[in-house]
Amino acid sequence: MTTTTPQPPILELARKQLSHVEIKDAAKGDVSAVFATFNVRDSDGDVTLHGAFEEGAPVVISSYNHTSWGGNRPVGKGRIRTTKAEAILDGRFFLDTVDGRETFVVVKGLAESGLGEWSYGFDIEDADSGTFNGEDVQFLRRLKVFEVSPVMRGAGINTHTLAVKALTDPEELIATEYARFTRAELDRQIVTELDPIRVRAALLAIRDGIGSLT
């Protein structure tokens, strides 16, 4: 592997798409996924070098296809862990939210059939061009990862979900369901309190000749 003289940091948001999802376990809302393999050329023509990722860096788990960038709520969070060969996300879905639980169910269901892929969004902080096994590539030396997202189509090499755990602990399940009930009850109370206000506003609008009661 040869490289050219390092260039100044490249500051651009990119998304590296990954491939192959495999479920190995089922126990409680957690996910461990290889999201990058070091020292191989991926289908984007990039070679990610060991040391490109900050060990222990926090990352967001985005809703499907990076849609949290467009305003959808994140569905989980995690941290980056690296080995000599791989970068791994150790994360947890927000199972006490609708978005988190539904995304987890989809990811888990796909993984059980060997389907579903992952991608991550990042800034390139240090990279240079060179050749790898006789091919022109971009060497990714340092990246700032913002989020990891389940996607439909991936581009990485030998990436996969290591473990997906379902919510099975009885006490945690009770706590989660109680939280959902509490939110539903709060929503009902808010609607109950807002209805008379809406009616009074409508009556005032009718009195002033600017509205109707519907």
Q: What is the mean pLDDT of residues 105-115?
A: 81
CB 156 within 8 A of CB 19: yes
**CA-to-CA distance for 32 and 91, rounded, in angstroms?**
6
**CA-to-CA distance for 67 and 70, rounded, in angstroms?**
5
Indicate the pTM of the whole model. Answer: 0.63
pLDDT (tens digit per residue) in 164-204: 544 444 454 445 445 545 555 555 565 566 666 666 666 66
Instruction: Give the pLDDT confidence score for residue 81 in this predicted structure.
Output: 92
**CA-to-CA distance for 100 and 108, rounded, in angstroms?**
12
Domain ranges of the chain: 8-168, 169-214
pLDDT band, very low/low/confident/very high, at 39 (cuts 50, 70, 90) = very high
Neighbouring CB atoms inside 10 A of 78's CB total 23
DSSP string, 29-61: SEEEEEEEETTSB-TTSEEEPTT-S-TT-EEEE
Q: Who wins on pLDDT, 25 or 48?
A: 48
